């Protein structure tokens, strides 16, 4: 095997590598199966000296200081002088780093900065002072390695000025704070500006993505709906939610929200807060709303127009291309329903009776869990709407049409509520959300309830499906039971463990917490981005508005 010198002659391209580096690379690539010590011996290199451990370095430096300080009374004086010298060296070193960095930035000449640093840094002159400095350096080696990593990296990668500024910043940080270091490190400003801009752009994207959800949080709270901390609360609320149990908290909020939903929906269709949302009250409101329909029955014959035919065709929800490509893929029930009402003309009285019948059948079908019946009910509702639109276009009496239109809006809301109303007088937010998704034009509180369900379905569950409500859940009893087994003598602990979970849920459900803790959150740039922006300075958009005007005037 050739020795290291022969290898270098054969491969002069590796002249920039040390013997140890070249030997290590050759061993790893070609002789990995041979012990490295044996390989080094065969190419004529001595064993690599073992790197002393941190403890060995400190011990050796300490022995050197003891030797330099000597013993007896003389050692006290030498040690005192060494301490003064070492403090002076450290203090002047900090000042030298700062002054050197400022000089480098100001002159853009790192050599001048280095010269200023060396001229201001006191070097110990006594043997004890030198040995003391070495000892303190050995002690602080782990910290200085970490602290010096960034300056060293910058200096080794062609940024000596930035490296000096970073070293000064590290020196200044414990004394003046990081803000002062930023002023000294002007070379870092461009990089900080790029970091800040990227972070601000990312925050803007997150804010845009979060905007719809935050708007729905504000909308839900505006009518009194209660939301979980995991979706819209702070850290304290999330801890409470974890302590109270996520599922039990969601069920508790659903029960609270059921009251809000019923009240909001009732007010939308004309009930007062004292009037319950019952089938009888809904029917009464319906009959009152139909009165303008009775007057419209005398309007005479209504002729179908092209717009009416187009609306009927639109009920199928099939494009012309889909109908051409897949003519047999149709819903026969819906097609049959459309055919019934596709007539060239009809008396307004019979049309209004059919509209009323269609809406009644639509409500029953849309309350069904069967998807096909729901689709049929939705189609029946759209056919009724198309017939009402036709009447409005064909009747010349504008006053009568205005009353008719107002009654239509009210009846539409009543029927939408009726479709979502359960036997116990509770409204299903899920049904309203399904209506909205399928194109039913909900508005006001009905739309708010539907959209809140779409965003936060777990706290908007249909309360009739939740079963009975007990103060403690099975998991609450389990937690109390575990505490009882672990501490059989501590009855108070058992009671506390059992009560803690419902107490946490009670706080989350309280209006006081919801009012203060649940609110839309503003998406802000991260702390790192804000620090980078502070280091980089203000953007043009941050400058006072008068600046642009002054520049314009100067022109």
What are the structural domain ranges in the chain?
4-42, 54-175, 185-218+527-555, 278-420
Distances from the Cα of 133 to the Cαs of 125, 130, 194, 314, 439, in angstroms? 11, 5, 40, 89, 80
Residue 187 three-state SS: helix
Local confidence band at 401 (pLDDT 50, 70, 90 cut-offs)? very high
Q: What is the percentage of the chain residues whose pLDDT exceeds 90?
A: 24
Local confidence band at 555 (pLDDT 50, 70, 90 cut-offs)? very low
- Better-predicted residue by pLDDT, 379 or 439: 379
Query: Poorest-confidence range of 115-129, 194-208, 275-289, 428-442?
Result: 115-129
Cβ atoms 66, 113 nearer than 8 A = no
pLDDT attached to residue 469: 55
pLDDT attached to residue 321: 63
What is the distance between the alpha carbons of residues 386 and 381, in angstroms, rounded to a whole number? 9
Per residue, the 3-state secondary structure of 364-377, as one string, reads: HHHCCCCHHHHHHH
Per residue, the 3-state secondary structure of 47-115, as one string, reads: CCCCCCCHHHHHHHHHHHHHHHHCCCHHHHHHHHHHHHHHHHHHHHHHHHHHHHHHHHHHHCCHHHHHH
Q: What is the dihedral of CA 188, 194, 197, 198, to 10 degrees?
A: -130
Local confidence band at 529 (pLDDT 50, 70, 90 cut-offs)? confident
- The residues, ordered by sequence, that sit 6+ positions from 304 with a Cβ below 8 Å of its Cβ are 342, 343, 344, 345, 390
Helix (H) or strand (E) holding 448: helix 444-455
What is the distance between the alpha carbons of residues 447 and 457, in angstroms, rounded to a whole number? 14
pLDDT digit string (tens) for 289-329?
A: 888 888 899 889 999 999 999 999 888 776 556 667 777 77
Distances from the Cα of 181 to the Cαs of 169, 186, 187, 212, 356, in angstroms? 4, 9, 11, 41, 78
- Better-predicted residue by pLDDT, 56 or 213: 213
* Residue 314, number of CB atoms within 10 A of its CB: 11
pLDDT attached to residue 452: 95
Of 116, 124, 174, nearest to 147 by C-alpha is 174
pLDDT digit string (tens) for 458-487?
A: 999 998 887 655 454 444 444 444 444 444
Supply the mean pLDDT for the chain: 77
Give the residue-averaged pLDDT of 397-410: 91
Query: Poorest-confidence range of 13-22, 120-129, 145-154?
Result: 145-154
Give the residue-averaged pLDDT of 415-419: 89
pLDDT beyond 80 at 120: no
Q: Which of 45-59, 153-167, 535-549 tops mean pLDDT?
A: 153-167
pLDDT attached to residue 133: 77
pLDDT attached to residue 220: 92
Cβ atoms 65, 128 nearer than 8 A = yes
pLDDT beyond 50 at 552: no
Phi/psi at 427 (nearest 5 deg)? -90, 135
Give the residue-averaged pLDDT of 182-193: 56
pLDDT beyond 50 at 180: no
Local confidence band at 387 (pLDDT 50, 70, 90 cut-offs)? very high
Work out whether the CA dihedral 485, 486, 492, 498 comes out positive or negative: negative
pLDDT attached to residue 176: 44
pLDDT beyond 60 at 538: no
Q: Can you tell me which residue has the tokens 């009194």?
A: 224
pLDDT beyond 50 at 432: yes
Helices (runs of H) and strands (runs of E) counted in the chain: 30, 2
Local confidence band at 17 (pLDDT 50, 70, 90 cut-offs)? confident
Q: What is the percentage of the chain residues whose pLDDT exceeds 70?
A: 72
Cβ atoms 268, 285 nearer than 8 A = no
Of 56, 63, 84, 65, nearest to 141 by C-alpha is 56
Give the residue-averaged pLDDT of 403-429: 90
Residue 439 three-state SS: coil
pLDDT attached to residue 171: 58
Joined tokens for residue 337: 């329903």
pLDDT attached to residue 346: 93
Phi/psi at 158 (nearest 5 deg)? 80, 20
Cβ atoms 505, 245 nearer than 8 A = yes
pLDDT attached to residue 154: 67
Joined tokens for residue 7: 């290898």
* Residue 134, number of CB atoms within 10 A of its CB: 19
Long-range (24+ apart) CB contacts under 8 A made by 111-116 are: 113/161, 113/164, 114/164
Cβ atoms 227, 517 nearer than 8 A = no
Query: Poorest-confidence range of 180-194, 378-392, 451-465, 518-532?
Result: 180-194
pLDDT beyond 80 at 354: yes
pLDDT attached to residue 548: 35
Please provide the distance, in angstroms rounded to a whole number, between the alpha carbons at the two ends of the chain.
Answer: 79
pLDDT attached to residue 247: 85
What is the distance between the alpha carbons of residues 246 and 240, in angstroms, rounded to a whole number? 9
* Residue 118, number of CB atoms within 10 A of its CB: 11
Give the residue-averaged pLDDT of 401-407: 91
Give the residue-averaged pLDDT of 249-274: 92
Cβ atoms 451, 218 nearer than 8 A = no
Give the residue-averaged pLDDT of 200-222: 90
């Amino acid at each position: 095997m050739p020795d290291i010198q022969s290898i270098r002659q054969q491969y002069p391209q590796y002249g920039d590598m040390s013997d140890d580096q070249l030997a290590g690379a050759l061993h790893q690539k070609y002789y990995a199966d041979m012990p490295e010590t044996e390989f080094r011996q065969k190419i004529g290199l001595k064993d690599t000296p073992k790197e002393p451990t941190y403890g060995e370095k400190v011990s050796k430096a300490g022995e050197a200081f003891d030797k330099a300080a000597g013993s007896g009374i003389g050692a006290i004086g030498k040690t005192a002088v060494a301490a003064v010298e070492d403090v002076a060296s450290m203090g002047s070193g900090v000042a030298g780093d700062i002054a050197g960095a400022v000089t480098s930035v100001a002159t853009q000449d790192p050599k001048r900065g280095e010269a200023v640093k060396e001229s201001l840094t006191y070097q110990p002159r006594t043997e004890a002072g030198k040995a003391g400095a070495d000892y303190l350096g050995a002690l602080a080696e782990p910290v200085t390695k970490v602290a010096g990593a960034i300056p060293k990296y910058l200096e080794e990668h062609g940024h000596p000025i930035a490296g000096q500024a970073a070293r000064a910043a590290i020196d200044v940080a414990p004394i003046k704070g990081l803000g002062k270091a930023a002023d000294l490190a002007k070379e870092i400003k461009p990089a900080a500006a790029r970091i800040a801009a990227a972070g601000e752009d990312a925050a803007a994207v997150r804010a845009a993505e979060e905007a719809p959800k935050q708007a729905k949080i504000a909308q839900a709270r505006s009518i009194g709906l209660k939301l979980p901390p995991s979706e819209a609360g702070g850290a304290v609320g999330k801890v409470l939610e974890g302590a109270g149990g996520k599922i039990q908290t969601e069920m508790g909020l659903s029960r609270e929200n059921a009251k809000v939903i019923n009240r909001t929906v009732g007010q939308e269709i004309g009930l007062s807060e004292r009037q319950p949302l019952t089938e009888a009250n809904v029917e009464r409101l319906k009959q009152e709303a139909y009165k303008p329909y009775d007057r419209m029955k005398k309007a005479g014959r209504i002729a179908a127009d092209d717009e009416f035919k187009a609306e009927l065709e639109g009920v199928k929800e099939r494009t012309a291309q889909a109908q051409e490509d897949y003519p047999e893929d149709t819903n026969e029930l819906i097609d049959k329903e459309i055919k019934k009402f596709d007539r060239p003309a009809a008396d307004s009285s019979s049309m209004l009776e059919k509209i009323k019948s269609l809406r009644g059948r639509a409500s029953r079908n849309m309350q069904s869990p069967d998807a096909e019946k729901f689709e049929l009910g939705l189609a029946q509702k759209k056919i009724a709407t198309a017939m009402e639109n036709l009447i409005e276009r064909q009747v010349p009496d504008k006053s009568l049409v205005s009353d008719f239109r107002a009654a239509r809006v009210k009846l539409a809301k009543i029927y939408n509520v009726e479709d979502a109303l359960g036997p116990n007088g509770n409204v299903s937010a899920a049904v309203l959300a399904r209506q909205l998704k399928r194109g039913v034009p909900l508005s006001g509180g009905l739309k708010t309830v539907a959209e809140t369900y779409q965003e936060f379905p777990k706290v908007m569950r249909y309360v009739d499906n939740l079963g009975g409500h007990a103060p403690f859940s099975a998991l609450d009893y389990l937690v109390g039971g575990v505490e009882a087994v672990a501490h059989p003598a501590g009855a108070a602990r058992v009671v506390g463990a059992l009560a803690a979970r419902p107490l946490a849920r009670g706080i989350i459900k309280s209006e006081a917490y919801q009012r203060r803790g649940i609110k839309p959150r503003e998406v802000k740039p991260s702390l790192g981005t804000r620090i980078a922006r502070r280091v980089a300075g203000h953007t043009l958009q941050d400058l006072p508005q008068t600046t642009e005007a002054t520049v314009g005037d100067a022109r």
